[in-house]
Amino acid sequence: MVNSKACEELDTKVIKTGLCTLCGACVGNCPYLAAYEGRVLLKDVCDLPQGRCQAACPRISLDLDELSEVVFGGPYPEDGLGTARYVVMARTTDSKIRARAQDAGAVTALMKFAMEEGFINSAILTSFEDKSWPRGIVASNDEQILKCSGSSYLAAPTIESFNQVIQNPNHQSIGFIGTPCQVMALVKMRTAPPEISQNLDKLKLIVGLFCTWALAYPDFGRFLEKKISDPVVRYEVPPHPANVLSAYTDKERFSFSIDEVLPFVRPACRFCLDLTAEFADLSVGGGRGEVLNWNTVVIRTERGMRLFDSAAKKGVIETAPIPEGNLSRLKAAAYNKKKRAIENIIQRTGCTDDLLYLKGRPGIIKRLVAECREGSL
């Protein structure tokens, strides 16, 4: 056996190298690991050669074709957006949600609707009540869902909460809202051995969020402390072309240029391929240009489509076609994120044969590697 100790290998290959996304997949599945204040750490020595930690971790190894097969019944696509049925603009019709939402409230509205209609009976969401250390929570009513709307731009070990409720018989159909890395982890868990995957069919809905990066605490916290004395209650990245991150306290707004903030991006994000949460049932992001106050929604799976269409039909959300320019810009952005990730991976490993956590070579990855090779020549 190659791995003598699974946990230690995870520690040395993923956590200590900055590949860990803080998704929380390994935590809650294993008593040896804990997520605390922006870090996943090994609390005790486990000498198991194979453990749940590695079976769940999307950054120790990930086979995109295998994940794609599990979710979509086919190989990983060439398209930068991943597997998509259609892309559309949407926004909530509920003014209460609109008031709290980051963009147009589609995520909150869809999750609330899914619970009301019995698609799910509980939802794993990320709570930003602790502004520095967002965590997963289990929501089982509208109010709890509404409380979690908005965005923090901070990584959260949300799957830890998922792992904790998955065995509980009270939670039979579970929904999840998460970032691309969290969604990848959940789907990888579906491909894992039975002790991890046995209850995953309770997961009835995954709503993915577009994500370019997440900030790393406590470094970002220390940066903020020097600039702002009051606690931050909300973050916002205003639409293009503002190019700033705004932090709101109860009294005022502080804006930092993105260039100032980028050094605090989690190192793990530099190796991320996924802008649009490609393995979710449906993925949601912001709008721009003429559809600024709308959400961009990528409908990916059968059940994602069923939920979305039903919500639209019942007037919970209103929809609009995506402007042609927006779609091509989104595809380009998604492709570019992949390209940057592959560049960074190759830079880290120093060779094109070793792509860190990426196992297998779907066509698009081969193409990106080839482009990198040409670029470096």
Partner 1 sequence: MGNEAIARGALEAGVGVAAAYPGTPSTDIIDSLADVAKDLNLYVEWSVNEKVALEVAAGASLGGVRALTAMKQLGLNVALDFLANVSLTGIKSGLVLVVCDDPGALSSTNEQDSRNIAKMFDLPLLEAATAQEAKDMTKWAFELSEQISNVCLVRSVTRISHARGNVVLGELREVSARASFDTTQKPYTTIMGGAPQYHRVLHENLTKIAQIFESSPFNGYAGPERPELLIITCGTGWLYSWEAIKMLSLQDSVGILKLGTTWPLPGELVKRHMMKAEKILVVEEVDAFLENNLKVLAVDSLPGRDRIFYGKHSGHINPFGEINTDIVIRALTNILNTKYIIRDEAYRQKATEILNRYVVFRETQFCPGCPHRGLFWALKDSLRLDGQEGVLTGDIGCYGSGVGSTGFKQLKTMHSMGSGIGVANGLGKLEQFGFKQPVLATCGDSTFFHAAIPALINGIHSKANFILLLLDNSGTAMTGFQPHPGIPMNAVGDPAPAVDIGDLCRGLGVPVEIVDPYDIEDTTQKLLNVLRHSGRPRVIISQRECSLMRARSEKPLYQMDVVAHQCQGETCGCNRFCTRVFRCPGLMWNTNTKKVEIDQAICVGCGVCVDICPQSAITRKEIR
Strands 253-257 and 244-248: antiparallel
Residue 183 to residue 25: CA distance in whole angstroms: 10
Residue 27 to residue 325: CA distance in whole angstroms: 41
> What is the identity of the amino acid at 310?
S
- Please choose, out of 39-47, 61-69, 138-146, 367-375, the segment that lies near partner 1 by the rule CB under 8 A: 39-47
**Least Cβ distance, residue 13 to partner 1 (angstroms):** 19
Q: Is 52 in the site for partner 1 (CB under 8 A)?
A: yes
Total site size for partner 1, rule CB under 8 A: 19
Options 4, 31, 260, 332; binder of partner 1; rule CB under 8 A: 31
Residues 6+ apart with CB under 8 A from 298: 81, 82, 84, 87, 276, 282, 283, 284
Using alpha carbons, select from 182, 184, 163, 185 the residue that is nearest to residue 174.
Answer: 163
Using alpha carbons, select from 125, 61, 20 the residue that is nearest to residue 357.
Answer: 61
Binding mask 288-307 for partner 1 (x = CB under 8 A): --------------------
Nearer to partner 1, 39 or 303 (CB): 39
Chain length of the chain: 377
Residue 48 to residue 55: CA distance in whole angstroms: 13
Options 1, 2, 44, 169; binder of partner 1; rule CB under 8 A: 44
Options 8, 18, 39, 255; binder of partner 1; rule CB under 8 A: 39
> What is the identity of the amino acid at 238?
P
Q: Is 32 in the site for partner 1 (CB under 8 A)?
A: yes
- Please choose, out of 46-54, 126-134, 290-298, 301-309, the segment that lies near partner 1 by the rule CB under 8 A: 46-54
Residues 6+ apart with CB under 8 A from 196: 29, 52, 55, 56, 189
Q: Is 161 in the site for partner 1 (CB under 8 A)?
A: no
**Least Cβ distance, residue 354 to partner 1 (angstroms):** 28
Using alpha carbons, select from 20, 13, 25, 88 the residue that is nearest to residue 52.
Answer: 25
CA angle 62-65-71, nearest 5°?
A: 95
Q: Is 228 in the site for partner 1 (CB under 8 A)?
A: no
Binding mask 255-284 for partner 1 (x = CB under 8 A): ------------------------------
**Least Cβ distance, residue 164 to partner 1 (angstroms):** 10
Residue 126 to residue 46: CA distance in whole angstroms: 29
Tell me the residue ranges of DSSP E strands in 233-375: 234-236, 244-248, 253-257, 282-285, 295-299, 317-321, 358-359
Nearer to partner 1, 107 or 159 (CB): 159
Using CB under 8 A as the binding rule, the residues of this chain from 191 to 220 that contact partner 1 are 195
Cis ω on the peptide bond leading into residue 263 (within 30° of 0)?
Answer: no
- Please choose, out of 34-42, 109-117, 170-178, 323-331, the segment that lies near partner 1 by the rule CB under 8 A: 34-42
Per-residue tokens: 127:
């709570």
- Please choose, out of 27-35, 227-235, 279-287, 349-357, the segment that lies near partner 1 by the rule CB under 8 A: 27-35
Q: Is 80 in the site for partner 1 (CB under 8 A)?
A: no
Q: Is 41 in the site for partner 1 (CB under 8 A)?
A: yes
**Least Cβ distance, residue 36 to partner 1 (angstroms):** 4
Binding region for partner 1 (CB under 8 A): 29-32, 34, 36-37, 39, 41-48, 51-52, 195
